[in-house]
Chains A and B, each alone.
Chain A
Amino acid sequence: MQYINNIRQYGLLIVFGIICLIISLITPQFLTLSNLTIIVTQVSINALLAFGVTFVIITGGIDLSLGSIVAVTGVTSAMLAHPDSYPVLIPIVMGLLAGLLMGAFNGFIITKSKIAPFIVTLGTMTIGRGLALILSDGRPVSNLSDSFNYLGSGTVFGIPFLILIFILVFALCSIILSKTILGRHIYAIGGNEQAARASGINIDRVKLSVYSISGLLAGLAGILLASRITTGQPNAGAGFELDAIAAVVIGGTSTAGGRGTMTGTLIGVLLIGVINNGLDLLNVTSYYQQVVMGIIIIGAVIVDSLNQK
C-alpha cells in the first residue's frame, strides 16, 4: 500500500515541480524567499483545515462545517481577547475547545444517528454560521490584545509563527495517520467498514476521533485567522471547507475512503497556493483564477483515476 501511494505522490510531486518551474520561468519574482514565505503563510489556514479533513475523508466521510467552525472559534476567541480581559491563553484554549466540541458534535450525531456525514455536517455548517452571528451580534469583534494578534503576524527566529504551526501540525497529523493504531483503523474503516467492525475495531470511537480532530484543527485555524486579520469575523471562513477538500482531493486521497496520505494533502495545499500566487504575479484576475482552480481539481482526479488503472 505504501509503495503504491509513493508512486502516486511522485507523480503529483512532478506535476508540482513542473508548475513551479513554469511559473518561475515566466516571472522572476516567484522564486524569491519573500514570495515563497508569502505563499506558505497564505496557505497555512487552508492547510490546517485540509490536514484535519484528510482523516475524515479517508474514513469515507466528509466535513462541510469547517468554514463555520472557523467563524465560531474566531469570534469566540476574539471576544475573549480584549486587551483588558484574560491572558492570551484563555482565548486560545476556549477557541480550540469550541472547535473540538463542534467536531465532536458532528462525530456524535454521525455515529449515533447513522445519517450521512454530508447531511450532518451540512446541518452543522448552517448551525455554526448562525452561532457565530449570534455570539458576535452580527458585528466584527475587534480591539484584540497585542499578544493575541502576535499569533497570526509574529515571527520566531524570523520564521512566521503561522508557518511553524503549519509544519508542526503537518508532522503530527502525518505521524498519527501513518504510525499509530488510530491511523491504521482510519484506513481500515474507509477501506471496508463492515470488515473493520468484524475485526474488532470500535467504529464509533474512530469516527468520533476524526471529526473531533477535524473540528479542533478548524478551531486552531479560526483563532489564527482572527489573529491575522485582528478581528473576529462572523462571516469569516465561508467556503473554506471546499478549498480544504479540494486540496485533499488534488493530493490523491480517495473520496470513497481507504486511500490517501498527509503528504499528498500537503502537496495539494501547496499546489493551490503556488498556482494562485503565480496567477497573482501574472496579474490574472481572480475570476480567471477560480476557473483555473476548478480545472485543476477535475484534472487531478482524472489523472489519479488513470493512475489507478
Chain B
Amino acid sequence: MPESDQKIIHVKDLNKSFSGIKALDNIQFDLYPGEVHALMGENGAGKSTFMKILMGLMLPDSGSINFNGEFIENMDVHKMLKKGISMIHQEILMVPELTVAQNIFLGKEFKGSFWVDEHQIDQKSQELLNLIGLKVNAQTKAKQLSIAEMQLIEIAKAISNHAKVIIMDEPSSALSDKECELLFKIINDLKSKGVAIIYISHKLDEIFRIADRITVLRDGKYITTKNTSELNKNSLISLMVGREIESLFSSDSRVPSNAILEVRGISKKGKFENINFEVHAHEVLGIAGLMGAGRTEIARAIFGLDKIDSGEILLKGHKIEIRSPKDALKKGIAYVSEDRKALGFIPEMSIIENITLSTLKNYSKGGFIQTKKETKISSQMASDLKIKAVGLNQKVITLSGGNQQKTVIAKALLTSPALLILDEPTRGIDIGAKHEIYKLINQLANNGLAVIIISSELPEILGMSDRILVLSKGKQTAILNKQEASQEKIMHYAIH
C-alpha cells in the first residue's frame, strides 16, 4: 500500500444526521492516486449522502476531510470541481437540443471572449471522444445518443475538467457488456494517469474485476476497508448485509401450463422484426440481448405503449389488439418499465396513491375514492412486498430505488395480471431488495402467473428464467431452455 502522505482524499470521523436520524456514523475513508476504490453497501447504507458531502453538495455535521494535503472547510460544488473532484451521476443530465461538444463544455465555454468558439469546442470534444475510444461525432445532438453513450460522455466531461478524483455512481447500469469493456478500458487509462476513482456499483463481478480496495458501509456505519484480494463475493455480501445470503436465485422447478401470451411474427420498422414466442402460465421467460436489440421495444408494443406494424398477438388463445396501456391492463397485461423515473411512478404522490393508481375503480363508489379501503389494500401490498418507508404517505420520490421499484411492482400486481412484464426489474437496486424481488417473481410464477423478464444482467436472466429468448439487432436469434443456456451461449446468440 502506498505511503500515507500520498493520499489524495482522507476522511476522518465523518458524521451527518437528518432530523435526528444518523445517516453517516463515524465514516473513515481514504483514497490514493491511481486507485479504484469501490464503495459498497445496500441502498440506504449512506453511500449517496457520503458522496454528496465529498462533492460539496451537503455539509457534514462533524469530521474532517483532507483533500490533497489540505483540510477543506465550507466546501461547495464549485470549489470541489475546481479542486478536481468530478462525479458521474446515475441519472444523466444533458441538454437534449445541444450537441455533444456543447454539452461537454457547458458552463466552461472558452472564456475571454463573448462569443462561443464552436469550432474549438468541437475540436477539443472530438479529441476527448477519440481519447476514450467512443465513436460519436462531437456535433451530434445529445437527444440522439443512447444512455450508454451519454454515460461515457459524462466521463469525457470529467476528464476535460482535469479531475483528480472521479466518482462513478452505477456507471455501468445502462451499459451493455461491450460498452462495459470500453468503460473498464477508460478506467484503466485514467488509473495509469494517476486519477483516483471512487466506484459505486451493485454488480459484484465488476467490483472484483476493477477495484483495488473496497470500503463497506452498512446502515450509515463504516464497516471495513479491505484489499479486493482479501475478499470474495460471499464474504463481501455478508459484510454488506450483515448476514449470509445462501444464493440469490432459488431453483424452483415449475411445469408451465397453458399459453397466456402468443406473439406471432410481430414487426416494427427500425425496432424489431418477425418476433415469435409464447409465454405460459407458471413460467418465466427471459429476454436477453444487447442494448438496442429491441427488448424494451417489444415489451412496449405488447403493453400498448407503441404500435406494431404487422404480426399478431394472442392472449389466452384469442387474437387481441392493444391500443393503449389502459387497454393492456384491462386485458391482463402489466408492465414494469426499465425507466422507473419516466414511466414508473408519480414522484410527488405518496406510496398509497402510487400503488392504487391503476386500480382506483376497485376502491371507489360513483367516482369517489374510498380512502379506508384504499389504505387497507395498499398497506397489505406494502407489507407483502416489504416496502420500507417512514409511513405510507411518504412521497415516492424520497424512497430508495429498491422501494420505489417495489411500489411500481405493487401497482402492477394490484391489476391482477395474467402476464407480468418486468423490464430490468433490479436496475440500481441493492442486493437485499434484489433478493426479495427475485423471491417474489418466483412465488408469482409458482402461483400461475406468466412472467417476462428483460435484463442486461446475464446471471439474473440465467437464474430466473425457465426459457430465454435471445435478440440481436431487432431479430430473434434463439430460444434456449434453462438446461442448455449459459452465459457464453447467450452472448453467442446476442452478437449474432
- Listed in ascending order, the chain A residues whose CB lies under 8 Å from chain B are 1-4, 179-182, 184-185, 187-188, 191-192, 194-202, 258-259
Contact = CB atoms under 8 A, between A and B. Distances in A.
Given A1-B393, A180-B369, A191-B349, A197 B325 contact: yes
A187 B349 contact: yes
Contact of B348 (A194, A200, A202, A258): A258
A192 B347 contact: yes
A181 B367 contact: yes
Contact of A198 (B325, B348, B360, B369): B325
A196 B344 CA distance: 8
A304 B415 CA distance: 37
B369 A199 contact: no
Contacts of B367: 180-182
A184 B350 contact: no
Contacts of B368: 179-181
Given A1-B350, A200-B330, A201-B326, A195 B344 contact: yes
A181 B346 contact: no
Interface in B348-366: 348-350, 353, 357-358, 360-361, 364
Interface centre among B330, B335, B367 (most CB of A within 10 A): B367
A202 B326 contact: yes
Given A188-B357, A200-B329, A195 B343 contact: yes
B345 interface: yes
Nearest to A258: B348
A183 to B, nearest CB: 8
B357 A1 contact: no
7 A-B pairs closest in CB distance: A191-B346, A200-B329, A200-B326, A199-B357, A198-B343, A199-B358, A181-B360
B129 to A, nearest CB: 31
A39 to B, nearest CB: 33
A196 B343 CA distance: 8
Interface string B202-234: 000000000000000000000000000000000
Given A200-B329, A201-B357, A195 B346 contact: yes
A132 B335 CA distance: 49
Interface centre among A180, A188, A199 (most CB of B within 10 A): A199
Interface in B380-424: 393, 395, 411, 415
Given A187-B349, A192-B347, 16 more contacts: A180-B364, A180-B367, A180-B368, A184-B353, A187-B346, A187-B348, A188-B357, A191-B348, A195-B344, A195-B345, A198-B337, A199-B325, A199-B411, A200-B329, A200-B330, A201-B357
Nearest to A187: B349
B1 interface: no
B57 interface: no
B305 interface: yes
Contacts of B348: 1, 187, 191, 258-259
A210 to B, nearest CB: 15
Contacts of B335: 198
Given A179-B369, A181-B364, A200-B326, A195 B342 contact: yes
Contacts of B393: 1-3
A198 B305 contact: yes
Contacts of A180: 364, 367-369
Contacts of B415: 200
B442 to A, nearest CB: 25
A255 to B, nearest CB: 14
Contacts of A188: 346, 349, 353, 357
A55 B179 CA distance: 46
B329 A196 contact: no
B342 A184 contact: no
B6 to A, nearest CB: 39
16 contacts: A180-B369, A181-B367, A185-B360, A187-B348, A187-B349, A187-B353, A188-B349, A191-B346, A191-B347, A192-B347, A195-B343, A199-B325, A199-B411, A200-B325, A202-B326, A258-B348
A200 B368 CA distance: 18
B476 to A, nearest CB: 25
A185 B348 CA distance: 13
Contacts of B349: 1, 187-188, 191
B358 to A, nearest CB: 5
Nearest to A183: B369
A274 B348 CA distance: 32
Contacts of B347: 191-192
Contacts of A184: 353, 357, 360, 369
Contact of A192 (B328, B330, B346, B411): B346
B343 A1 contact: no
Nearest to A176: B367
Nearest to B391: A3
Interface centre among A182, A200, A259 (most CB of B within 10 A): A200
Interface string B312-344: 000000000000111011100001010000111
Nearest to A178: B369
A200 B337 CA distance: 13
Contacts of B329: 200
Interface string B293-309: 00000000001010000
B339 to A, nearest CB: 9
Interface centre among A2, A180, A184 (most CB of B within 10 A): A184
A195 B395 CA distance: 15
A112 to B, nearest CB: 15
A179 B369 CA distance: 6
Contacts of B326: 200-202
A179 B348 CA distance: 17
B412 to A, nearest CB: 9
A2 B349 CA distance: 9
Contacts of B330: 200
Nearest to A175: B368
Interface in B269-303: 303
Nearest to B343: A198
A5 to B, nearest CB: 10
A241 to B, nearest CB: 26
Nearest to A182: B367
A199 B305 CA distance: 11
Interface in B125-178: none
A181 B345 contact: no
Contacts of B328: 200
A192 B357 contact: no
A54 B337 CA distance: 31
B425 to A, nearest CB: 15
Contacts of A196: 346, 357
Nearest to B357: A199
Contacts of A199: 325, 357-358, 411
A306 B393 CA distance: 22
A70 to B, nearest CB: 28
B53 to A, nearest CB: 18
Interface string B255-278: 000000000000000000000000
B76 to A, nearest CB: 16
Contacts of B350: 1-2
Contacts of B325: 197-200
A2 B347 CA distance: 14
Given A1-B350, A180-B367, A200-B325, A192 B345 contact: yes
